[in-house]
A and B are shown apart, each in its own frame.
Chain A
Amino acid sequence: MSDHVDFLILGSGSTAFAAAIRAADLGARVAMAERRTLGGTCANRGCLPSKNLIEAARIVREAAHPRYDGLIAGTVGVEFAALIAQKDDVVREYRAKKYASVADGLADLELLEGDATFVDPHTVRVGDRMVTGDRILVATGSRPTIPAIPGLADIPYLTSDLLDADEAGRLTELPASLAVLGGGYIAVELAQMFSRLGSRVTIVARSGLLSGYEPDLGRTLAEVFTDEGIEVLAGSRVDHVRGDASGVEVAIEQAGARRVVSAERLLVATGRTPNTDTLGLERAGVAVDADGFVTVNAQLRTSLPHVWAAGDVIGRQHRSQTATPVGARQGRIVADNAFADAGKAFDGTVIPRAIFTDPPIAVVGETEAEVRARHYPAVAATTPLMYVPRAGAVHKPTGLVKFIVSTVDERVLGVHVIGESAPEIIHEAAMAMHFKAGLPDFIDLIHVYPTMSEALKIGAQAFSRDVTKLSCCAE
């Protein structure tokens, strides 16, 4: 190919692919630069492999704890290496289908391998090639944050990269014990997964689990984790770590007391850092914020008019979130703006999000604290899922649904669920918010009985009725 393209995309994840496909539709010649494995975090070392293994871990757990009187607990053994091998197959097949073959199918797309570095505003060195782009998209994603903890640089540790199928950081042996640093969504998903597969897991979290989310969610999850035998050390400050390939020690201070957590392996899951530090953005004149996120306007344009940024690299600007489908949407918007002058703005008001623990968590819109912080008049109501008929029928009563509703017009501002099927039912709430529905819309809609989605109909009624006294079908 020529070393000049209409659209040069840095990164090859969901954001990059959505942008490339749309730009190609619009007539652009596209090149995509990737320094790691095609497909980015989600497909290779994020959402996809973690969901594969989390489901396997659920099977192991449920066999040993069948929930129903009359079902006899059994044992599903874990052959970890084989389990990892099937996960790797799933990742490779998905990557081939959803990324590599899609790339092959685009007439004017070239994939470039290597580190990308801006040389000037229009020129990027990719490996040993110089490529110029009329328009450029920075969609290089994020990586696990490595906190500045004394001793960490000197010992072996895992990150969520352990999920990868083909890179050095992958994990192929189940640790007998695991210390997890962090209490965010990646930490809790992986902690429970390893615990259920047979590791003894200790979570060391600076605050509680899932800070930033509705407090009830992390609280409920911590209770479940404790019941399952996961030790949750909330409010912990890590003083230092030490160890070697045979084991690690995490020295912490919790509530004024010092203690040492020993484990075979250490998993660092303390957040995500944008992959912008090696791009030479300063040579191009592309502005980043103090944390390294690329600064963009609502149309996802950077400080340079011909350079755009989208996906994890923009952080939480314009109510964006670090999430695969958010990046994909933004990638498409960038292509429309760059090649069809669409003038589209990213709208992050309604972004459903899920955490695939058991019970799972799903949220959309604002938390009560966020609504209060902007002094908007609103009311909130929390309903335990024990009042949802299906939850009782299948012995999964743990959980709750919380609504935050405007007192000006009854519009729903946020819905937060922990409980069975939460990641599926959240879409009803998201669609309702998309169409600016009010609380009565959830109540008026006939729901299938008995489903977990009834939690939304019941949770909406909690503002006006005693939901402990509802008859069948929540009417």
Chain B
Amino acid sequence: MTEPIVYIDLGVGGMTCDDCVVHVTEALESVPGVESAAVDLATRSAVVTARPDVGASALAAAVRATGQYNAFERRRRAASGE
């Protein structure tokens, strides 16, 4: 039986180039419990795949800790619910 996961949709501010996407992705994936993060420059958003115990505040804090970018939660979706 696989561990349950959730998708967390984030708005991301401050990205101007592909390097920014890399930095934000790394910040998100550094949070314990995050499996992967798909960051999109054009829509200024990210979808994080994570264990259910990962909070949006931890994700936002990791992105803000870069000193250059901001993130905030839009939606939290159960993987099986879609």
Residue pair B57, A26 in contact (C-beta under 8 Å) = no
**Given A6-B74, A340-B70, A26 contacting B60 (CB threshold 8 A):** no
CB distance from B20 to the nearest CB of A (A): 12
Q: Which residues of A contact B71 (CB under 8 A)?
A: 27
Contacts of A134 in B (CB 8 A): 74
How many chain B residues touch A (CB < 8 A): the figure is 14
B35 CB → nearest A CB, Å: 22
- Closest B residue to A25 by beta carbon equals B13
Tally of A interface residues using CB under 8 Å: 13
Does B14 lie within 8 Å of A339, measured CB to CB? Answer: no
0/1 interface trace, chain B 1-35, chain A, CB 8 Å (1 if under): 00000000011111000000000000000000000
Q: Among B10, B14, B72, which residue has the most Cβ atoms of chain A within 10 A? A: B72
Which residues of B are found within 8 Å of A340, using beta-carbon distances?
A: 60, 64, 70, 72
Query: A332 within 8 Å of B by Cβ?
Result: no
**Contact status A27-B12, CB under 8 Å:** yes
Does A110 interact with chain B (Cβ within 8 Å)? Answer: no
Chain A residue nearest to B73 in the complex (CB): A134
A27–B14 CB distance below 8 A:
yes
A28–B44 Cα distance when bound, in Å, is 8
Contact call A29/B72, Cβ cutoff below 8 A = no
Contact of A339 with B44 in the complex, beta carbons under 8 Å:
no
How distant is the Cα of A341 from the Cα of B70 in the complex, in angstroms?
10
Complex Cα distance, B41 from A107, in Å, reads: 12
Q: How far is the CA of A70 from the CA of B45 in the complex (A)?
A: 70
Closest A residue, CB atoms, query B72: A339
B57's closest neighbor in chain A, by CB? A341
Asked if residues B64 and A27 are in contact (CB atoms below 8 Å), the reply is no
Q: A6-B74, A339-B72, A340-B70 are in contact. Are A25 and B60 (CB under 8 A)?
A: no
Q: A108 touching B44 by the CB < 8 A rule?
A: yes
Give A140 to B44 CA distance when docked, in angstroms: 28
Q: Which residues of B contact A107 (CB under 8 A)?
A: 44
State whether A29 and B70 are in contact (beta carbons under 8 Å apart), knowing that A108-B44, A340-B64, A341-B57 are contacts in the complex.
no
Q: A27 with B44: in contact, given A6-B11, A134-B74, A339-B11 (CB under 8 Å)?
A: yes
Among A26, A27, A340, A341, chain B packs the most CB atoms within 10 A around the CB of A27
Q: Which of B31-73 contact A (CB under 8 A)?
A: 44-45, 57, 60, 64, 70-72
- In the assembly, what is the distance between CA of A341 and CA of B44, in Å? 18
In the bound complex, residues from chain B placing their C-beta under 8 Å from that of A28 are: 11, 13, 72
Q: Which residues of B sit under 8 angstroms from A341, Cβ to Cβ? A: 57, 60, 72
Beta-carbon contact of B60 and A27 below 8 Å: no
CA distance A339 to B70 in the complex (A): 8
CA distance in complex: A63, B70 (Å): 56
Return B16 CB to nearest CB of chain A, in Å: 11
Across the interface, do A27 and B57 meet the contact criterion of CB distance under 8 Å?
Answer: no
Report whether A26 and B74 are in contact in the complex, using a CB–CB cutoff of 8 Å. no
Which of these, B13, B45, B57, contacts A339 with CB under 8 Å? B13
- Complex contacts, A6 vs chain B, CB 8 Å: 11, 72, 74
Which B positions have Cβ atoms within 8 angstroms of A? Answer: 10-14, 44-45, 57, 60, 64, 70-72, 74
Give 5 pairs: A residue, B residue, CB < 8 Å, sorted on A.
A26-B13, A26-B72, A27-B45, A27-B72, A107-B44
